[in-house]
Amino acid sequence: MHPASQYSTARLSWVLALTSLVLLALPFRSAEAFLFKKYVYCSPMIGKVHWAGKPLQGLTIKRNLKSGGFKGGRYDDETITDSAGHFELPVVEHRRLATPDFFSANPQVSQSLKTTLDGMDYYLWSWSINQFELGAEGFGNPMTFDCDLSVYELIGGSPMVKCTVSGKKSYE
């Protein structure tokens, strides 16, 4: 081996060793934040569900997210409305080395909310995003919902509720 290439190999080994030591010396969360970017699959959601102004307590609000960034391609969670018909769903985010659906030409997340009342599924909201920042669904605004289950349109035989989302009527 040429003496100059031995020097280059040794120098590269030292640089890699020092870099590894620096990364190991950082607290785990800091190293993770340094190496991985935070991707938001769904911003936090708060809202209320009612029937012509009467709060609906005890309804299960189900959120479904579809993206190649999830194991099996989907993520489901749910919450239950309180005595005032209010619900909250937390932010869904992960730290990743590469964007979700890295090999896709158009990575995106499909999002939907639904509930069931008297055996009937009511679809509250659906949206798709291809930006993975907090607030992308509401164009920078918090995700707030006011859903009156008595106001809906039948789409494919299922009621699509005409909710007010982040202060805007979803059907205008």
In the predicted structure, residue 82 carries a pLDDT above the cut 70: yes
At the topology level, CATH places domain 37-169 in: Immunoglobulin-like (2.60.40)
As a whole number, the mean pLDDT across the chain is 80
Please calculate the CA angle 92-78-63 and round it to the nearest 5 degrees.
60
Q: Looking at residue 118, what is its pLDDT? A: 93
Residue in 82, 78, 86, 83 with CA at minimum distance from that of residue 60: 78
Flag whether pLDDT at 171 surpasses 60: no
Question: Where are the chain's structural domains?
Answer: 3-34, 37-169
In the prediction, which pLDDT does 29 show?
46
How far apart, in whole angstroms, are the C-alpha atoms of residue 172 and residue 162? 9
Is residue 43 within 8 Å of residue 88, measured between CB atoms? Answer: no
pLDDT at 119 over 50: yes
Taking CA atoms, 33 is separated from 36, 99, 126, 131, 136, in Å, by 5, 15, 31, 19, 21
Q: pLDDT for 88-99, tens place per residue?
A: 999 998 776 665
